[in-house]
Structure formats: structure tokens, C-alpha cells
Amino acid sequence: MTGIDALAARLRAAIGSRRVLTDRQQLRTYECDGLAHYKVIPALVALPGTAEQVAAVVRECAAAGVPFVARGSGTGLSGGALPHADGVLIVTSQLREILDVRPEDERAVVQPGVINLQVTKAATPHGYYYAPDPSSQQICSIGGNVAENSGGAHCLKYGFTTNHVTGLEVVTPDGDLVRLGGPAPDTPGYDLLGAFVGSEGTLGVATEVTVKLTRLPETVRTLLAAFGSTDQAGAATSAIIAAGVVPAAIEMMDALAIEAAEAAVRCGYPAGAGAVLIVELDGPAAEVDAQFDEVSALCAAHGAFETRIAADDTERALIWRGRKSAFAAVGRISPDYIVQDGVIPRTALPEVLRRIGEVAAEHGVRVANVFHAGDGNLHPLVLFDDTVPGQADRAETVSGAILDLCIEHGGSITGEHGVGVDKARYMPRMFSDADLDTMQLVRCAFDPDGIANPGKVFPTPRLCGERPGRRQGAHPLHEQDVAEVF
């Protein structure tokens, strides 16, 4: 019996045979996450049904010295849930219960496999919702959100997962069940909860999550403003922020992204726009109305030649439709593309967009820009045709150069998709050896044997045959219409 067979037998004994998969066909289902060009078939898949079972699986892994990788819904875009060929993939799909909803405490307690949107659905009847809204929210899991510190279009005002999780139960890499934080804020001691959020599965497995619930706003108002250029739209964004307005969201699309969206969903954005801004304000009606007038005026002052205001939810959905479809839509105008995710200071927007254009032109590829303008989180889509020799490599060069631009301007190599396997090699461009070494201290405290999701986040030799950052065509989740990409 090989080591893995022996481990499989022990896992079956610990959590029941139907919760342990060893059949190669079944294992193949889990070979990749949302970044589908990295593929590894795991040695085993475990589907624990309780936190204790997760702990039992991890204990067996620790005893056998076998690595494990947690997986939620597998929508991650950095290969974070990529399995380990000799390891166990711990899938949380059997942990989908909402355990407690307490509007009076503004908290809900959920299992890690619970889908993001389900939390909001459970809270809405009470007048509350779960604020972090990644655009994959119809399918991604709360455990995955915790691991990635996911954000959404509305995190400009409301913050990210880390600002909305107050308690966790985690299984540490040696198989202990530990509570970090709780329903109350400011738990004494080190903020290990804060360190765990965003650690991409390298510090253990979250088995229960206590989240904040946010009061539904009284009013939501949305406008679409069309500009001649991204420079103008960028200046309008800065002016809105400078005026002291904190919108719920400010999103921008450039001409190429608009073209793609029009081709795909005929969103009917103003013709001839070099850029559009979508601005959403929410809160008490009197506040929102006053600020809305200010935003409209600022857009006009910065060259908006047309402004549309959503009169109702249907019109709001229409405005968002073009934005939400943009990534998938790019598949209409280019056979292949790379989705990049980087962050720059908002004020550097015009300069960086210009430089991206120049770099793209130098290498003969096109870049469409669709992004969270309010917080400077860029999602450049680098378009290429894999059948044209050399184009893929050029696209990749451009994609990498965009990250360098982000770093050069004091930004980050990832704003929401995480490092995973995909960007581990870029970490040394953003952090010094000492900085990375300090992160390792935390890693060593949690996981001295390095069995929790090894090979992710921190730079390691590249995997064989990997082709970073590249995706062919639209994501299957778009095609099935289950997820929209922001």
C-alpha cells in the first residue's frame, strides 16, 4: 500500500468512506480553480461534513506529513486552490449551513462553504445584508472570501472581507480547532484573525465564520457619465473624492471595453464615449440626493457630454449590465486575453493608463481597461491571439509590465484576486527579502512543517509547464451566466 492509499484508508475511517474521493475521474473535477490553465490532479479529495471532520483530516495529513489545500467554490483567479499532486484537497462544499442570523447583534455565523450571496439573502428579510460583494458572489464561498480577503465594487465605501469578519473558527495545520475573535470586537491578544484573513489557505482551514451584517441603505442612486477620454473620467473621479463624497462605487470603462460590452450585451452606452464612469451613491435619502447633485455637476464640469440617471432598479441594472459583462464581452473582440489585477494610487490613474497604452502599442497588443476607479484597482485585459506566433508572449510581457507600473507608482500587484501560484514570483518585486521573511515568521508560527497550501503566495520555483496569467476565451462561469466579472 502506498503512503497515499494508507492515508485514504485512515481518512475513510475518520470521516466515512463516502467523504473521501480517490477515483481519478472524480479527482479530475477539482484539478483547477478559476485560473484554468494551471491544472494539477490531487492525490485525494476529502469532503468533510463538520469542523471536527476537517480537523480529523488535517490531523491525518500532519501525521503523515502530507500537504493539504482548502477549496471553497474554486472561483479563485490566482490558482490559490490549485491542488497538490501528492496532497489532500479539503473541499468545503458539505459545509453550507447558515448557523445563526442575528440582526439585533448585526452578526451572522456561517459555515465556510456557504455562498456569499446566501448570507445577504438570509439577512435581507431583517433589513440587513452582507456588504462585501465580489462579482462572483452567486457562487464563491465565504471561506474562500476569508482566504482571499475578497472585495467587490462597493468596497470603496464599505471595505473588504477583513472589515466584515469578527470571528473565525479555524483548524490549524496541526489539526487543532481554534477560535479567533468572536461576535464582539477587539478580542484581547494578537489580531490573528486579521492575519488569517487574506492568507490564502496557508495558515489553516476556516471552519466557521462570524460576519458583520450591514443595515440596508435607505436609498441607492446610480448614474452613468460619458466622457471623451479616460483622462477626463479620471479627473472627474478625483474631483468627486476631493469634494468629500464617498460613493458606494465608482467604476470606469475605456473605449475598447465599451466596444466589447456593446458587442456582447448592447448596453447602449452613449456613442463616441472614450470612457464611461458609473457612480453609485447609497445611504440616507437626504444625504444621497445632495451628493448626487454634486457628483452630476462635477462630471459635467470635467467634460461629461452625457449623463444618465437610473430612474429605478431596472434602469440601474441596465447601467450595470455593460460593466458587469465587460470581461466576458472581451471574448467577442479577442480570442484570448489575460485578466490582470493591480492597484495604483487613484491620482496616478491618467499617467498609468497612458503608460499602459504606450507599453501595449510597443508590443503590438491591445489592452481594454475596466476597473474600480474609486480605489485605483485596475483590471487591464490584455488581448491576444494565441494562434499568432509570439503574441502570447508579448501579451504576457505587457501584463507583467503593468504590474511593474503599479509597483513603480506605489501600488500593489493584487487588489482582490490574490497571489496564489500565479503571482508568487512577483512578490519580490513588491516586498524585500526581509518583508517576505517576516511573513514567513507568521507562517512558521501557524504551520512549521509547511503543509498548508505549500507553493502559494510565496515565491517558489515555477511549476513545470505553467503558463502564467493566461486564459483562453471567456470563463466557463460567464458562459453559464452564473458569474459576472468586475
Partner 1 sequence: MGVLDELTTKAGGEDAVGGVPARLVAAPRDTTEAAALISAAQGLSVVIRGGGTKLDWGVPPRELDLIIDTRRLTGVVEHAAGDLITVVRAGTPMAELHDLPGQQLALDAPPAATAGGTVAANASGPRRLRYGTARDLLIGITVVRPDGTITKAGGKVVKNVAGYDLGKLYTGAFGTLGLITECVFRLHPVPAAAIFVRATAPPGHAARVLAGQFAASACEVNAAPGAEPELAVLLEGTPAGVRERAAAVAELLDGEVSGTAPEWWDVLPWPDGGVGIKLTGRLSQVPALVATAVGAGATVRGSAGAGVLYAGFPPDGEGADAVVEAGRAVELLRAAAVRACGHAVVLTAPDGVRDTLDMWGPVPGLELMRRVKDQFDPHYRFAPGRFVGGI
Ligand X SMILES: Cc1cc2nc3c(=O)[nH]c(=O)nc-3n(C[C@H](O)[C@H](O)[C@H](O)COP(=O)(O)OP(=O)(O)OC[C@H]3O[C@@H](n4cnc5c(N)ncnc54)[C@H](O)[C@@H]3O)c2cc1C
- Quick check: 142 and 114 in contact, CB under 8 A? yes
Q: Which of residues 38-97 bind partner 1 (CB under 8 A)?
A: none
Nearer to ligand X, 82 or 226 (CB): 82
Tell me, what DSSP letter sits at residue 87?
S
Choose the binding region for partner 1 from 10-18, 30-38, 263-271, 439-447 (rule: CB under 8 A). 439-447
Contact between 182 and partner 1 per CB under 8 A: yes
Q: Which of residues 142-161 bind partner 1 (CB under 8 A)?
A: 148-149, 151, 155, 159-160
Nearer to partner 1, 94 or 163 (CB): 163
Pick one of 154, 316, 346, 471: the residue that binds partner 1 (CB under 8 A): 346
Which residues are 179's β-sheet partners?
Answer: 169
Sequence-separated (6 or more) residues with CB below 8 Å from residue 198: 147, 148, 149, 161, 162, 418
Name the residue with the smallest CB distance to ligand X: 144
CA 250, 255, 256, 260 torsion-angle sign: positive
Give start and end residues of each alpha helix (H) in 140-254. Answer: 142-148, 155-158, 192-196, 230-242
Contact between 399 and partner 1 per CB under 8 A: no
- Quick check: 411 and 348 in contact, CB under 8 A? yes
Nearer to partner 1, 126 or 394 (CB): 126
Nearer to ligand X, 80 or 342 (CB): 80
Nearer to ligand X, 60 or 416 (CB): 416
Question: In this structure, what is the dihedral angle of CA atoms 287, 288, 291, 295, given to the nearest 10 degrees?
Answer: 170
Q: Which of residues 287-326 bind partner 1 (CB under 8 A)?
A: 287, 290-291
What is the C-alpha to C-alpha distance for residues 82 and 76, in angstroms, rounded to an integer? Answer: 9
What is the C-alpha to C-alpha distance for residues 73 and 71, in angstroms, rounded to an integer? Answer: 6
What is the C-alpha to C-alpha distance for residues 206 and 155, in angstroms, rounded to an integer? Answer: 22
Nearer to partner 1, 74 or 411 (CB): 411
What is the C-alpha to C-alpha distance for residues 53 and 75, in angstroms, rounded to an integer? Answer: 24
Nearer to partner 1, 17 or 438 (CB): 438
Q: b/e per residue, 131-158, with b = 16+ CB within 10 A?
A: bbbbbbbbbbbbbbbbbbbbbbbbbbbb
Q: Which of residues 256-285 bind partner 1 (CB under 8 A)?
A: 283-285
Residue 46 interacting entry, from partner 1, ligand X, none, C-beta within 5 to 8 Å by type: none
What is the C-alpha to C-alpha distance for residues 120 and 139, in angstroms, rounded to an integer? Answer: 13
Contact between 395 and partner 1 per CB under 8 A: no
Task: Name the residue among 239, 242, 271 with its Cα closest to residue 258.
Answer: 271
Q: How many CB atoms lie within 10 A of CB 313?
A: 10
What is the C-alpha to C-alpha distance for residues 453 and 82, in angstroms, rounded to an integer? Answer: 9
What is the C-alpha to C-alpha distance for residues 395 and 339, in angstroms, rounded to an integer? Answer: 11
Nearer to partner 1, 73 or 334 (CB): 73
Apex 120 CA angle, 116 and 125, nearest 5: 160
Q: Count the alpha carbons within 13 Å of 140 in the hemisphere toward its beta carbon.
A: 28
**In the complex, least distance from residue 323 CB atom to ligand X, rounded to whole angstroms:** 11
What is the C-alpha to C-alpha distance for residues 186 and 362, in angstroms, rounded to an integer? Answer: 51
**In the complex, least distance from residue 65 CB atom to partner 1, rounded to whole angstroms:** 19
Q: Which of residues 116-135 bind partner 1 (CB under 8 A)?
A: 127
C-alpha separations of 211 from 47, 123, 265, 335 in Å: 24, 11, 35, 40
Pick one of 434, 461, 465, 480: the residue that binds partner 1 (CB under 8 A): 434
Residue 61 interacting entry, from partner 1, ligand X, none, C-beta within 5 to 8 Å by type: none
Binding residues (CB under 6 A) for ligand X: these are 33-34, 69-77, 80-81, 92, 112, 134-136, 140-141, 143-145, 147-148, 150-152, 200-201, 205-206, 416-417, 453, 475, 477, 483, 485-486
Residue 33 interacting entry, from partner 1, ligand X, none, C-beta within 5 to 8 Å by type: ligand X
**In the complex, least distance from residue 95 CB atom to partner 1, rounded to whole angstroms:** 21
- Quick check: 179 and 188 in contact, CB under 8 A? no
Nearer to partner 1, 36 or 246 (CB): 246
Beta strand ranges found along 172-272 (DSSP E): 177-181, 205-212, 214-215, 219-227, 249-254
**In the complex, least distance from residue 167 CB atom to ligand X, rounded to whole angstroms:** 14
Pick one of 242, 311, 361, 388: the residue that binds partner 1 (CB under 8 A): 242
**In the complex, least distance from residue 446 CB atom to partner 1, rounded to whole angstroms:** 7
Contact between 178 and partner 1 per CB under 8 A: yes
Pick one of 101, 439, 463, 474: the residue that binds partner 1 (CB under 8 A): 439
**In the complex, least distance from residue 283 CB atom to partner 1, rounded to whole angstroms:** 5
Q: Which of residues 453-472 bind partner 1 (CB under 8 A)?
A: 457
Nearer to ligand X, 6 or 444 (CB): 444
Contact between 356 and partner 1 per CB under 8 A: no
Contact between 180 and partner 1 per CB under 8 A: yes
Pick one of 98, 297, 427, 474: the residue that binds partner 1 (CB under 8 A): 427
Contact between 376 and partner 1 per CB under 8 A: yes
Nearer to ligand X, 231 or 422 (CB): 422
